[in-house]
Amino acid sequence: MKHVARKRFGQHFLTDGGIIDAIVREISPKAGDAMVEIGPGLAALTQPLVERLGRLTVIELDRDLAQRLRGHGQLDVIESDVLKVDFAALAAKFSPAPLRVVGNLPYNISTPILFHLLGFAHLVADQHFMLQKEVIDRMVARPATSDYSRLSVMLQWRYAMDNVLFVPPESFDPPPRVDSAVVRMVPLAEPPVVDAARLGEIVQVAFSQRRKLLRHTLGQWLDQHGFAGSFDTQRRAEEVPVAEYVALAQAAPQ
């Protein structure tokens, strides 16, 4: 029976064979890799991956799709919302091999998924995700550009990232109303030591009114928290490099 894409799950199924081959080449799966796929859907990417891996763990929320996937002898199926999956427990099953995470992420919850995985970056070798191109533009954006945002800072302090492949709407069924792309995310081997929650708080305050100078937002926050150091608040949030946000989070009082 044909599976009808469900809007509430943000389902858009990849159908373009050429794009699928290109994604698999970018991922470069090897036999025995500890790979986890998020949102396998109709297994368009799953099948060529598992043929190279031998075995693959997949996370699928849609009950009907999960049932269909269980019929595949080389898949370990986790029927769950990915935001509830403990990737540390998953990593323990594969230890000492680090996780490789891939997937065509639902566009409606892609950012929460990226932040969920941020907490498990120390257990991951790499991540390859298909996302809305606009989101990837923000992920890899440099300071002093319109795309540079909270997402840029919160991911770049922990990952090296590259936009590796453009994917047009006609590659999907049904076609989304946006362009897509594939991003490669490699956790930094020696990331700066920082309280991620404190960094997140500082960055959120900074970008809360991105058109205003930081003295109106982050400057007031620093005063309220008794910050005695120096930080130029005569800039807008998008003008501050990732390293300066990290240094501020390291120096700010708890």
Binding-site residues from annotation for S-adenosyl-L-methionine? 12, 14, 39, 60, 81, 104
What is the token pair recorded at 97? Answer: 């091999």
- Binding residue positions: 12, 14, 39, 60, 81, 104
Cβ-in-10-Å burial (0-12, 13-18, 19+) of 192 comes to middle
Taking the alpha carbons of 67, 47, 184, 23 in that order, is the dihedral positive or negative? negative
Contact indicator for 192, 246 with CB cutoff of 8 Å: yes
CA-nearest of 124, 116, 137 to 183 is 137
CA-nearest of 129, 113, 111, 130 to 168 is 130
